[in-house]
Structure 1
Amino acid sequence: MTFDIMLPYYGSVALMQAAVRSVMAQTDPDWRLTVVDDGTEPGVPEWFAGITDERVRYQRNERNLGVTGNYRKCVGLAEHEYLVMMGTDDIMHPNYLATVRSVIDEYPGVCMIQPGVEVIDADGVVVNTMVDEAKRRLYAPKVDGRRLMGGEELAASLLRGCWFYFPSICWRTDALKAVDFRDEYQVIQDLALVIDLIRRGEQMAVDTTVCFQYRRHAVSKSAADAVNGSRFTEARAYFLEAAELMEAQEWPRAARAARRYTSSRLHAITLLPTALRSGRMAGVASLSRHAFGPASDSR
């Protein structure tokens, strides 16, 4: 079985090159890497032209598609049974594909595989942020080695606190093609996608083998959106929608988790001091409404 590794690229050339090299260093040789360049950085086509490995494919978009548009294009280009939508600044350990292949061997047809992840900073140093510590200790399921999850259990767990790392997940391609990214969501669209798959009856296998590095930058669009509050306006809208979807699914525990959105509220509370110090009063108002407002208030 060949894995499609899709790399929707925009941004730092050096970090993208490190991501590509990490794919080429896999101990499991049965992969194909497709890089879809949504930018205009000079020298990038020439760099790929110098790679002689036929498993590496590169194309540059004629016009900028944006994050969601480029994700859609990558999914459409995938041809093999399983794919990885790798982040342009993330790193695979050499054992990544070998790990997810062993999970698929144990759970044939599984839709999503979440392997063990370590977080790195902009310089590639392994870090332990408050956000990631909360994911591990408070929200992630307790797994000893490997576990298969699905249905209301998985939906409620993720709506309580979104503990997966999207770029590290290996997906069954036909399932990903059957759903779509939501245009109305930019920051929380990964959770919306996974919940949509769970509602269709798909399952996720969780494996604790660390084989992927997720890069968390101190300054990023999601971080800026968080401080100014726009991230949480979007999150609030999604959780209220998700509560209705879970009720329609007759999953009351998942509906309660969505309605409470506890981890998202706590995250907003932690950002309030930063917003206050920066004088972003609109952000303070948005963060406060998200953190302390009643769940039934859709404003």
Structure 2
Amino acid sequence: MEFLELKDFLDLKFVQYNQQAFIENDPICIPHRFVKKQDIEIAAFFAAILAWGQRKTIINKCTDLFHRMDNAPYEFMLHHGDEDLKGLLGFKHRTFNDTDLLYFVAFFKAHYQNSDSLETAFIPQLSPFREEYLSELNRPNFEIEQALNHFRTYFFSLEDYPTRTIKHVSSPAQKSTCKRLNMFLRWMVRKDNCGVDFGIWTTLKPKDLICPCDVHVDRVARRLNLISRKQTDWQTALELTTALRKFDPADPVKYDFALFGLGVEEKF
């Protein structure tokens, strides 16, 4: 397709899939069950981290998880006791198990005792416990790559973190596409009038987001010649996002809706 033809096509698909109807069968339905900002953050983070496999299974697993927290994840993180933690034992989704879950809970408790938003965990100069980054206050051209690398370091800054849990939080430093975290950031940062993404974070900007590059998006993007790189890694996600910025520099990842919808719903 020519540039304008492809842009019109993707814009059309974006409008088609960026609708309330998209929510019901997607893991994003999990955070949409909550109202409090911190509940939304926690629910979205788990929904994104557990987002591999069939969407119905992911939704069911997240439903089970938050039922174990009395559907009040923020209160659970701050005020749980040993008996509450016992209720998490036995939780499992794919390779994510209760050992990983207990560390995630410990991280959230430590973080929310020092900050009222999870956004600060992605911003070096704002993260509690990371004083060595204070010199970067007000640094211009904040980059998502640095945010993701910093988050992984910060996430595992608690003592005695389980080695097995490391695989569940990716970063560009490992050359990962960071699909799940980029999807989480899209949910938290993007905001429009359609009500799918939340847009409850304000420091990170939509223009800087990186498109989540899962197997469906990757396949469709290659068919549309938006990706030329042979392997699928962090550089691939950057290549795709650079291509999408030509269509909308202010909000490139809105086309995640179009590419994902074409791949999953239309088997493009």
* Fold similarity call, TM over 0.5: no
More helix, by proportion: 2
Answer with 1 or 2: which has the greater Rg. Answer: 1
TM-score by length of 1: 0.27
More strand, by proportion: 1
TM-score by length of 2: 0.29
